[in-house]
């Protein structure tokens, strides 16, 4: 059975890169009828942010990436937080000491700094401490770490399923720390132990971990365990091709949700980062992605995460993929957030229908359609000028509108066209000042539709206000 996992660290906002890697882990597990696990790597206590774990899990659920095992859903391989698995790592670090694959190192931080300055990195000097002496010092409580003892000379072969085989000279592989002096493991030890104990068969992660993979391969060999298959995905890039970062791009999934991006659209866009559909189409469901997914269709070029392209795709989802009812439902929290209410479901649906070609994110709807929900809406400078130009015509139009009984789009269009013809002016010379009076803007849906939606009383009140 294929078992995949993601192992985010709760060190800040849920990251778009986590969602991207989660998506491919999820798809590969589902395609193979396997299991997808979420594990929280919270061993870096200095960078731990309270509440971050809950936000990561909530973001995965928002994106529709359900997992089979995790800290909040449980499962047969728990606990799923590394901070709750410390005795396991200590046990396996001891095991490596017994097997001669690790050693205790007692350098102080100051000594390590000096070694780094002189040698450019740790030089393995504690390898020479006789094991009995190291054990005695450890029993006396002397602070120390446990390091991997890389076999030298020698080579380590890493097979990446997307890149082929790379052979590393063991001289280039450092004796990394496996267990820190506070008893917490480093990523290297914890992730190998957990992946093995949780039955992970396929490790799909970002390519920045490729350089660490020889260390992990050596650890599998040291324990006598079969290594999983490794797939290192291309890193998401900023538009300037640098690695995606919050300095240059929005990386927080919470930001995308708050800005009114649809989870379906963001998920679809992330699928296109490194993957293309056989028929070249860009809009597809999660199920269609899973069905079409093969590793042969993953490209290793650095995919550029382009916010404008995502906005375009989000707009396509709003206009072409979701039903009108669904879009109306989804804009409700954003209307409430803006302090706006609506008189009926039918009114809201019609408002969304009229505005649908004009907004690309859910948050833009209340911003651009404010005049449909409240009398407290801004008036643009252009609209103000147009209103002032057209005041003489609007004064004459007002009694005609007041006398109009049939308040439908067709009847209002006939009235306005007839009025413009009678005055010997183009329709726009009447319509634009009226639009400005009713909406405070010149960029709105059709005027007859807006008049009909606002209703006679509200439209007349706004016109009276403008004429005053």
Q: Residue 168's beta-bridge partner residues? A: 156
- 60 found inside a domain: yes
**pLDDT value for 44:** 85
| 66 and 31 assigned to the same domain | yes
Measured CA distances, 260 to 21, 80, 255, 266, 272 (Å):
22, 31, 9, 11, 20
Residues 452/412, Cβ–Cβ less than 8 Å = yes
- 238 found inside a domain: no
Task: Give the CATH number, domain containing residue 425.
Answer: 1.10.10.350
Provide the number of structural domains found in the chain. 4
Task: Give the CATH number, domain containing residue 349.
Answer: 1.10.1160.10
| 90 and 183 assigned to the same domain | yes
- CA-angle at 19, arms to 253 and 177, nearest 5°: 110
Integer distance in angstroms from the first to the last C-alpha of the chain?
75
Give the closest residue to 5 by CA, choosing from 251, 195, 158, 183: 195
- CA-angle at 225, arms to 219 and 231, nearest 5°: 70
Q: Residue 157's beta-bridge partner residues? A: 167
- 35 found inside a domain: yes
Task: Give the CATH number, domain containing residue 152.
Answer: 3.90.800.10
Residues 150/131, Cβ–Cβ less than 8 Å = no
Q: What is the pLDDT of residues 345-376, one digit of tens each?
A: 999 999 999 999 999 999 999 999 999 999 99
- 77 found inside a domain: no
User: Which residue blocks in 262-404 are alpha helix, DSSP H?
Assistant: 263-271, 286-292, 307-316, 324-337, 345-355, 364-368, 381-403
**pLDDT value for 249:** 78
User: Is 246 marked within a binding site?
Assistant: yes
145-148 vs 102-105, strand pairing mode: antiparallel
Q: What is the pLDDT of residues 19-68, one digit of tens each?
A: 999 999 999 999 999 999 999 999 888 899 999 999 999 999 999 999 99
| 177 and 193 assigned to the same domain | no
- C-alpha 303/C-alpha 206 separation (Å) is 12
Phi, psi of 207 (to 5 degrees): -65, -15
Give the closest residue to 312 by CA, choosing from 378, 342, 268: 268
**pLDDT value for 243:** 86
460 CB contacts (<8 Å, ≥6 apart)? 398, 401, 402
Last residue of a domain, one of 173, 198, 233: 233
**pLDDT value for 242:** 84
Counted residue by residue, the chain has a size of: 468
Give the closest residue to 189 by CA, choosing from 218, 219, 166, 163: 219
| 139 and 220 assigned to the same domain | no
| 177 and 93 assigned to the same domain | yes
| 281 and 346 assigned to the same domain | yes
**pLDDT value for 89:** 98
| 48 and 27 assigned to the same domain | yes
- 351 found inside a domain: yes
Predicted TM-score (pTM) of this structure:
0.93
- 371 found inside a domain: no
**pLDDT value for 368:** 97
- 224 found inside a domain: yes
The 3-state DSSP class for residue 264 equals: helix
| 286 and 349 assigned to the same domain | yes
Report residue 398 as tokens: 């007002």
Residues lower than pLDDT 70 in the chain:
none
3-6 vs 164-169, strand pairing mode: unpaired
- 368 found inside a domain: no
- C-alpha 438/C-alpha 448 separation (Å) is 11
Q: What is the pLDDT of residues 183-215, one digit of tens each?
A: 999 999 999 999 999 999 999 999 999 999 999
**pLDDT value for 229:** 98
| 341 and 291 assigned to the same domain | yes
| 8 and 64 assigned to the same domain | yes
| 199 and 182 assigned to the same domain | no
Indicate which residues carry an active-site annotation. Answer: 246
User: Which residue blocks in 293-323 are alpha helix, DSSP H?
Assistant: 307-316
**pLDDT value for 38:** 98
Q: What is the residue range of 294's domain?
A: 253-355
- C-alpha 324/C-alpha 337 separation (Å) is 21
| 168 and 295 assigned to the same domain | no
Q: What is the DSSP string of 145-195?
A: EEEE---SS-EEEEEETTTEEEEEEGGGS---EEE-TTSPBPHHHHHHHHH
Task: Give the CATH number, domain containing residue 52.
Answer: 3.40.50.620
């Amino acid at each position: 059975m294929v078992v995949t996992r993601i192992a985010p660290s709760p060190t800040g906002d849920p990251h778009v890169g986590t969602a991207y890697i989660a998506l491919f882990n999820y798809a590969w597990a589902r395609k193979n009828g396997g299991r997808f696990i979420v594990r929280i790597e919270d061993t870096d206590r200095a960078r731990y942010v309270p509440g971050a774990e809950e936000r990561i899990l909530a973001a995965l659920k928002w994106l529709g990436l359900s997992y089979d095992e995790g800290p909040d859903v449980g499962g047969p391989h728990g606990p799923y937080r590394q901070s709750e698995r410390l005795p396991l790592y200590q046990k396996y670090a001891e095991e490596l000491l017994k097997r001669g694959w690790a050693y205790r190192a007692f350098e102080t931080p100051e000594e390590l700094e000096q070694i780094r300055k002189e040698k450019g990195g740790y030089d393995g000097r504690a390898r020479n401490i006789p094991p009995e002496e190291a054990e005695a010092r450890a029993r006396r409580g002397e602070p120390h770490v446990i390091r991997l003892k890389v076999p030298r000379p020698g080579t380590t072969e890493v097979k990446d399923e997307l890149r082929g085989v790379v052979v590393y000279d063991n001289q280039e592989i450092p004796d990394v720390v496996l267990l820190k002096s506070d008893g917490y493991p480093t990523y290297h030890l914890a992730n190998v132990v957990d992946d093995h104990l949780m039955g992970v068969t396929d490790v799909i992660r970002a390519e920045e971990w490729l350089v660490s993979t020889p260390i992990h391969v050596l650890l599998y060999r040291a324990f006598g365990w079969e290594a999983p298959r490794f797939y290192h995905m291309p890193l998401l890039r900023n538009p300037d091709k640098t690695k995606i970062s919050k300095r240059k791009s929005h990386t927080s999934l919470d930001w995308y949700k708050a800005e009114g991006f649809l989870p379906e659209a963001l998920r679809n866009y992330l699928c296109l980062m490194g993957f293309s559909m056989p028929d070249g189409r860009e809009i597809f469901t999660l199920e269609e992605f899973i069905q079409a997914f093969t590793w042969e269709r993953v490209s290793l070029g650095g995919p550029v995460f382009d916010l404008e392209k995502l906005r375009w795709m989000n707009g396509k989802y709003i206009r072409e993929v979701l039903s009108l009812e669904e879009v109306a439902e989804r804009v409700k929290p954003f209307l409430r957030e803006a302090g706006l209410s609506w008189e009926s479901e039918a009114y809201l649906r019609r408002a969304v229908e009229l505005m649908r070609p004009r907004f690309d994110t859910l948050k833009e709807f209340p911003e651009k359609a404010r005049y449909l929900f409240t009398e407290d809406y801004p008036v643009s400078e252009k609209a103000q000028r147009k209103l002032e130009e057209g005041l003489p015509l609007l004064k004459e139009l007002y009694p005609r509108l007041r006398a109009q009984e049939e308040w439908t789009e067709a009847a209002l269009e006939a009235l306005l066209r007839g009025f413009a013809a009678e005055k010997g002016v183009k329709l726009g010379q009447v319509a634009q000042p009226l639009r400005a009076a009713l909406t405070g803007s010149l960029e709105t849906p059709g005027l007859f539709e807006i008049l009909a939606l606002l209703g006679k009383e509200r439209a007349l009140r706004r016109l009276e206000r403008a004429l005053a």
